[in-house]
Amino acid sequence: MPPALSPRKRPRQQRSTATVDAILDGAAHILESHGLEGFNTNAVAVRAGVSVGSLYQYFPGKDAVMAALIRRDARDFLSLTQDAAANDGAWTAALERLVDVAVAHQLDSPTLARILDFEEARLPLDPETSQAEDAMQRLIAEILRRAPGAQPAACAEAAADLLHIARALIDAEGRNPAPDRAGLKRRVLRAAFGYLAQPPPIEHR
Amino acid sequence: MPPALSPRKRPRQQRSTATVDAILDGAAHILESHGLEGFNTNAVAVRAGVSVGSLYQYFPGKDAVMAALIRRDARDFLSLTQDAAANDGAWTAALERLVDVAVAHQLDSPTLARILDFEEARLPLDPETSQAEDAMQRLIAEILRRAPGAQPAACAEAAADLLHIARALIDAEGRNPAPDRAGLKRRVLRAAFGYLAQPPPIEHR
DNA sequence: GTCTAATCCGATGAAAAGCTCACATTTGGC
DNA sequence: GCCAAATGTGAGCTTTTCATCGGATTAGAC
C-alpha cells in the first residue's frame, strides 16, 4: 500500500512546527533549483537541516510533502488574491490587481510553480486545497459579475478559463532567463479582456 | 555522467525499426495510463514486448526515450498543423482548423500530452524538436499576418501566446473524465479571437 | 546452405531512493 | 530538579530502478 498523503502527526511544540516549516522550505528550494528529479526525502531533509527520521515523523512519504507544499501554496495564493480582489473600485482595476498578484507570485519561483501545478493534477488533493482552489475561482467569478453586460451564469466558466490562461502565459514567460514582467502583464491583460469582450463564437452544426 | 539523449544506434533492418516503434508506443501507453511514476525502462520494455536489453541498444537511457517521444510527437503535430493551415480560404477558417487539430491531437491522450509538455521544459531538446516547434510558431504567425489590420511585427509574439493559451485550455478540459469537445473548441476560439481583437492595453507608468 | 552482422534476450550487479527503528535529546508541567 | 511526553537522529535495511554484458537468435547477402 502506498503511503498516505495526510500528515502523520500534528506538531505540538513550537520547535516541531519549525521543523515542518523547514522541511517544506527545503522541499520548495530543491524543487526550484533541481526540479522533480532532485526531489527525494534524503535531499529534502539535508536541505532542511533535519534528519530523514524527523521528516517521516510528520509526513508518511514524499508525496505527502508534495501535498503539503501544494496546500501551503494554495493557501498563500488565495490569501494574496483575496486582498487584491477587495470590492472597491472598478471591476477592471480588481482584475488588474489580480493579474499583478498572479504574475508576482508565479514568477517568484517559476519552476516551483510549474511543478506544483503539474503535481496537483496527479495527487488526490486534500479538502483544504480544493477548497482554496474553489474559493479563488468563485472570487474571480464574483469580479466578472460586476462587469456591465456580464452573464452571471457564464462567469464561473470564464473564471476557470482566465485562470488557466493566465497561468499558461506566466508560466511560459517564467521559462525565460530574463522574464519581462511589464510585457507579460500587458499580454495577460490583453488575453483576459479580449476573452471577456469576445462574444462566444456561434456553434457550427 | 548522465546518459546522453540522442539515440545510441540507428536501426538498420526492418525489425529493429519495429522494435524502436514498439518501445515508443509502449512508453506512450505507460505515460498515458500510469503517468511519470510508472515510466521506467523495465516497464516500458515489458509493455513494448521487448527486453530491456533491446531498449538500451537504441536508447542510452530513459530520458532518451522521453526525448524521442517528444520528437515524434512534435513531428506528428507539425505535420497535422501544416495540413490544417493550407493557404486557401479566410484566415479565420485556417485558425479554426488549427484549433480543431490541436483539440483532437491533445485530447486524444490528454495525460500523455500534459507530460510531454512538462518534460519538454526539463530536457535539453534536440535540434529537430525545436525546429518543429519553431516551424509551428511561424506557421501560426503567417496566418495571423493575413488578418486585416494585423501588425506583422507583433504576430510572432501573438502566435506564441495563442499556442500557450490553447494548450492550457485543452489541457484543463482533458483532465475532465468526459471532455466536452464542442464547448472546448468554442472557448478556445473565444480566447483566440478575443486576444487578437483586443488592442494591447496601454502600459501604465 | 553458409556466414556474418544485426538484433534480441534477461539474469544480474550497481546505484539510488524509500523508509524504519532503537536510541539520544529537549521541552514543559509539576 | 524530576519525569513523561515530544521531538530529533542517522546508520542501515529494503525496495525500486538503472544499466550492462555474454551469449542466443534471426535476417539477408552471397
Give the integer Cα–Cα distance in Å for A78 and A74: 6
Tell me the HSE value of B46 on the side-chain side, using a 13 A CA sphere: 7
CA–centroid distance for B157 within its chain: 19
Provide the percentage of residues in chain B whose pLDDT is more than 70: 93
CA distances from A137 to A101, B94, B170, B177 (A): 15, 33, 18, 20
The residue behind cell 488526490 is: A124
How is residue A165 written as a grid cell? 490562461
| Protein-nucleic contacts, chain B 37-56 to strand C, CB < 7 Å | 49-54, 56
User: How many whole angstroms separate alpha carbon B120 and alpha carbon A113?
Assistant: 16
Q: Which three cell numbers stand for residue B11?
A: 536501426
- pLDDT 10s digits, B123-145: 999 999 999 999 999 999 999 99
Cβ of B189 under 8 Å from any chain A Cβ? yes
pLDDT confidence of residue B161: 98
**What is the predicted pLDDT for the residue at B199?**
76
CA of A158 to C1' of D5 (A): 53
B200 contacts chain A (CB < 8 A):
yes
Residue-level pLDDT at A200: 72
User: CA-CA distance, A166 to A140, in Å (whole number)?
Assistant: 12
Report helix, strand or coil for A151.
coil
Instruction: Please compute the mean of the pLDDT values over residues B90-119 and round it to a whole number.
Output: 97
Task: Report the range of poorest mean pLDDT among A74-83, A145-154, B2-11.
Answer: B2-11
Residues 111..140 of B with a Cβ closer than 8 Å to A: which?
114, 118, 121-122
**Does the pLDDT value for residue A128 go beyond 60?**
yes
Q: Of A40-54, B4-18, B29-43, B181-195, give the lowest mean pLDDT range.
A: B4-18
Of residues A7 and B121, the one with the higher pLDDT is B121
Cβ of residue B103 closer than 8 Å to a chain A Cβ: no
At residue B86, the pLDDT reads: 83
Average pLDDT score over chain B: 93
Instruction: Please answer whether residues A45 and A65 qualify as being in contact, where contact means their C-beta atoms are separated by less than 8 angstroms.
Output: no
Q: How confident is the model at residue B200 (pLDDT cuts 50, 70, 90)?
A: confident
Q: Does domain A14-197 have CATH number 1.10.357.10?
A: yes
pLDDT at residue B44 is higher than 90: yes
Residue that wins the pLDDT comparison between A87 and A35:
A35
CA atoms of B15 and B23, how far apart (whole Å): 12
> What is the rounded CA–CA span in Å between residue A94 and residue A114?
25
Nucleotide with minimal C1' distance from the CA of B51 is: C9
Supply the mean pLDDT for chain A: 93
Q: How confident is the model at residue B205 (pLDDT cuts 50, 70, 90)?
A: very low
Q: A118, B121: Cβ pair inside 8 Å?
A: no
Measure A13 CA to nearest chain B CA, in Å. 35
3-class DSSP assignment, residue A84: helix
Q: What is the phi-psi region of residue A149: left when phi exceeds 0, alpha when psi lies from -120 to 50, beta otherwise?
A: left
Cβ distance B165 to A118 less than 8 Å, yes or no, reads no
On whether the CB atoms of residues A35 and A43 are closer than 8 A, the answer is: no
**Structure-block grid coordinates of residue B13:** 533492418
Tens digits of residue pLDDT in B58-87:
999 999 999 999 999 999 999 999 999 887
Give the list of residues 6+ apart from residue A2 with CB closer than 8 angstroms, or none: A61, A63
Q: List Cα–Cα distances, A195 to B106, B128, B194, in angstroms.
A: 22, 34, 5
Query: How far A122 CA sits from the closest chain B CA (Å)?
Result: 8
The shortest CB-CB distance from B161 to any of A37, A191, A193 is to A191
Which residue in A123, A97, A96, A116 sits closest to A171, CA to CA?
A116
Q: Quick check: A194 and B195 CB within 8 A?
A: yes
Q: For residue A77, what are the contacts with CB-CB under 8 A and spacing of at least 6?
A: A101, A105, A132, A136
| Torsion-angle region of B81 (φ positive above 0: left; ψ -120 to 50: alpha; else: beta) | alpha
What are the Cα distances from residue B50, in Å, to B11, B18, B47, B61, B116?
A: 15, 11, 8, 15, 23
Please give the full DSSP string across chain B, using - where no structure is assigned.
----SS-SS---SHHHHHHHHHHHHHHHHHHHHHTGGG--HHHHHHHHTS-HHHHHHH-SSHHHHHHHHHHHHHHHHHHHHHHHT-S-S-HHHHHHHHHHHHHHHHHHSHHHHHHHHHHHHHS---HHHHHHHHHHHHHHHHHHHTSTT--GGGHHHHHHHHHHHHHHHHHHHHTSSS--HHHHHHHHHHHHHHHHHSPPPPPP-
Residue A35 is classified by DSSP as T
Residue range A171-184: mean pLDDT, rounded: 97
CA distance B192 to chain A (A): 8
pLDDT of residue A13: 81
Of A172, A187, A200, the CB nearest to B186: A200
Q: A139: which 3 cell numbers? A: 472570487
Model pLDDT, residue A205: 40
B182 contacts A193? CB cut-off 8 A:
no
Span A163-182, mean pLDDT? 97
Q: Give the model's confidence band at A3: pLDDT under 50 very low, under 70 low, under 90 confident, else very high.
A: low
**Rounded mean pLDDT of B30-49?**
97
Q: What is the mean pLDDT of residues B167-178?
A: 97
- Is the pLDDT confidence value at A125 over 80? yes
Q: Distance, angstroms, CA A95 to C1' D9?
A: 50
As a rounded value in angstroms, the CA-to-C1' distance for A57 and D5 is 15
A62-84 vs A110-122: helix crossing angle, rounded to 10: 110
Lowest mean pLDDT among A166-170, B86-90, B106-110: B86-90
The share of chain A scoring above pLDDT 70, in percent, equals 95
User: Residue A203: is its pLDDT beyond 60?
Assistant: no
